[in-house]
Amino acid sequence: MDFTEAQLQRYARHIILPEIGGIGQAKLRQARVLVVGAGGLGAPLLQYLAAAGIGTLGVVDHDTVSLSNLQRQVIHRTADLGVRKVDSARRALLEINPECEVITIAERMTAANAMAIVSDYDIVADGSDNFATRYLLTDACFLARRTLVAAAILRFEAQLSTWKAHLGAPHPCYRCLFPEPPPPDSVPSCAAAGVLGAMAGMIGAWQATEVVKEILGVGESLSGTLLLYDALGAQVERLEIQKRDDCPLCGAHPQITSLDAPLARASYDEVYCG
């Protein structure tokens, strides 16, 4: 793809990288990335994807901006209080890069709409804050054959991985690690337990890096690896994840072949995206 002089200047620090170059930058411009959640993780994730030159960004979030969001959700401003998060995000992203197409989806992700939404994008990034959405996206991305880059944060801890079990062995899926959600209320929410705001920026930017790597096919994928970050100890741990033959989603005899499967629906009947 040809670049204008302005585009060459905007993406010069990418194009000069041997791993990206003009061909790689063109791939980023052609890419369609769906980001679920325009909150703590979604804010820096979306900012860096727009700045990187991703051609089309889909943003899913049904919520509006509240004062408690502003401690970590840096894409929103005090002036955006009460505004739909997807609209606030779109305004911010176009200010960063007006060439980026931003598609806003002000809906909850549910078993009824997930497949249609996910299938319209090349890669999905999960910035949600609840287990129901994580399992829904795990199942939908596997069934739609889409790569999922997922992160989660709580207090001073975070985790990050890439899931692409649809490519077959040796790639595991999220259910290989956690076959079913934890019992209700066993894991507190950020609202109940708190979260370090700056850590959301760090992990969201890291998540954006993994999305870009997957689009370009460069570096080492996090597929099969779960990164655990401890901010208080300034430590990163890597856990290897094995593909399970008895996995209910990607195993030899799957029980989840649609989002309407009983085991699937039990994971996210009360799904919401926050």
Residue ranges per structural domain of the chain = 31-268
| Angle at alpha carbon of residue 267, lines to 40 and 250, rounded to 5° | 95
pTM comes to 0.94
Fold (CATH) for 31-268 = Rossmann fold (3.40.50)
What pLDDT score does 30 carry? 97
Mean pLDDT by 10 residues, the chain (274 residues): 92 97 97 97 98 98 96 96 98 98 95 96 94 94 98 95 97 95 71 88 97 98 97 97 96 95 82 38
* C-alpha span between 152 and 129 (Å, rounded): 7
Helix, strand, or coil (residue 248): coil
CA atoms lying within 13 Å on the CB side of residue 37: 28
